[in-house]
Amino acid sequence: MALNVTQKLINDHLVSGKMDPGAEIGLQIDQTLTQDATGTMVMLELEAMGLDYAKTEASAQYVDHNLIQEDNKNPDDHLFLESAAQRFGLYFSRPGNGVSHPVHMQRLAIPGKTLLGSDSHTCANGCMGMLAMGAGGIDVAMAIAGEPIYIKMPQVMGVKLTGELPDWVSAKDVILEMLRRHGVKGGVGKIIEYYGPGLDDLSAMDRHVIANMGAELGATATVFPSDKEVKRYLSMQNREDEWGELNGRQ
């Protein structure tokens, strides 16, 4: 049976369970993302575990939330996070380097991979043909230690895009219309997968905007295929060699 993009991503990372909606499944995580508002607890949990080195393919600690330095608290956190990143083998993105979601997309996102982040908008990286999900700190810490994440198999909600965006209409309007139609709980227990000829009119960053606000729908994740537009974007980042095509049944 032909699989959609979501099912292909899950099937490639399934370590336990079956892809029956509502059934518990275990997924192997390739990459993780933490930021400074949540990463401190993750790093403390890794210390408590006695972890020597990250077991993931790539993990990154970003500093992009608590940047105000009116006293010593935030700078102290940043120094701790930098030292923890060095200890556990994580990439460290210093204050001012950029927001975690787009920076991860630019530097580390790879089509076909799984990403777990201690930030609700980690899902933005679904624009790259990834299964990208936000989670609690302990789940991310366990993933860094090489353990799977266990979730209930979501339903796949397909959204077929057709036509082109008219003048004065942007990708933001697409996700706002999704919210108007389905509300803030319309994506609960679901992975939203966008497909169809309308994708040709959406750049990688347009898709990022849509995937980012899947969190506002309550969705487990938002998934886009990895197509020629993703290849073009990775080429712009001098990472074309990391591109792989990933399309589902139409």
Q: What is the pLDDT of residue 75?
A: 85
C-beta neighbour count of 229 within 10 angstroms? 19
- Could you tell me which of 33, 35, 61, 34 has the C-alpha nearest to residue 128? 33
Mean pLDDT split into 10-residue runs, the chain, 250 residues: 93 97 97 95 96 98 88 89 97 94 97 97 98 97 98 97 95 98 97 97 97 97 98 98 87
Instruction: Give the number of domains in the chain.
Output: 1
Only one residue has tokens 């487990």, namely: 220
Which domain covers residue 130, as residue numbers? 5-239
Question: What is the distance between the alpha carbons of residues 15 and 219, in angstroms, rounded to a whole number?
Answer: 22
User: Residue 50: inside a domain, yes or no?
Assistant: yes
At position 196, the amino acid (one-letter code) is G
User: Residue 206: inside a domain, yes or no?
Assistant: yes
In 28-148, beta strands by DSSP E: 31-35, 58-62, 91-93, 114-117, 131-134
User: Residue 69: inside a domain, yes or no?
Assistant: yes
Q: What is the pLDDT of residue 249?
A: 67
From the centroid of its chain, how far is CA 95? 21
Q: What is the pLDDT of residue 186?
A: 96
* pLDDT tens digits for range 78-111: 999 999 999 999 999 999 999 999 999 999 999 9
Q: Which residues contact 232 (CB under 8 A, 6 or more apart)?
A: 204
* pLDDT tens digits for range 20-53: 999 999 999 999 999 999 999 999 999 999 999 9
Whether the CB-CB separation of 62 and 33 falls below 8 Å is answered with yes
Question: What is the distance between the alpha carbons of residues 184 and 186, in angstroms, rounded to a whole number?
Answer: 6
Side-chain-side CA neighbours of 235 within 13 Å: the count stands at 7
pTM over 0.85: yes
User: Residue 246: inside a domain, yes or no?
Assistant: no
User: Residue 65: inside a domain, yes or no?
Assistant: yes
Q: What is the pLDDT of residue 74?
A: 87
How is residue 246 annotated by DSSP? B
Look up the CATH number of the domain holding residue 186: 3.30.499.10
Q: Which residues contact 165 (CB under 8 A, 6 or more apart)?
A: 171, 173, 174, 201, 202
User: Residue 250: inside a domain, yes or no?
Assistant: no
User: Residue 249: inside a domain, yes or no?
Assistant: no
How is residue 117 annotated by DSSP? E
Residue 28 to residues 9, 22, 177, 214: CA-CA distances in angstroms? 11, 18, 33, 22
Structure tokens at 45: 């949990």
User: Residue 248: inside a domain, yes or no?
Assistant: no
